[in-house]
């Protein structure tokens, strides 16, 4: 087993720890919203969103927000772009 496949299997295991609110954050990030806009959408604090994004980056072994989106998409955690934003 290579280091890359080991890291990938660990990420798949970590993806099981992602709850519905984490998925909402991932989808809103994917839709292009910043932390402040996500906080307003979800009625939580800005710092709460920042901490959750940081935790998601650690769980999915992503080095940045773009890499986080790519990993989430790779693991099937995202909805299509058209349905990423909730309807008002």
pLDDT of residue 17: 81
Burial 42-51 (b: 16+ CB within 10 A, else e): beeeeeebee
Average pLDDT over every residue of 3-23:
67
* Total number of residues shown for the chain: 88
pLDDT at 33: 95
Residues 22-81: pLDDT tens digits? 999 999 999 999 999 999 999 999 999 999 999 999 999 999 999 999 999 999 999 865
Q: Alpha helices, DSSP H only, in the chain? A: 3-15, 20-30, 35-42, 46-59, 65-74, 81-84
Q: Which two tokens stand for residue 63?
A: 């080095």
Domains and CATH numbers, the chain: 3-81 (1.10.10.10)
């Amino acid at each position: 087993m290579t280091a890359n496949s080991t890291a990938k299997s660990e990420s798949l295991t970590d993806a099981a720890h992602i709850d519905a609110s984490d998925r909402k954050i991932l989808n809103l990030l994917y839709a292009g919203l910043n932390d402040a806009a996500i906080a307003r959408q979800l009625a939580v604090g800005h710092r709460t969103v920042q901490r959750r994004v940081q935790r998601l980056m650690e769980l999915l072994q992503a080095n940045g927000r773009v890499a986080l989106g790519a990993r989430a998409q790779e693991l099937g955690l995202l909805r299509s772009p058209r349905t990423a934003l909730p309807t008002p």
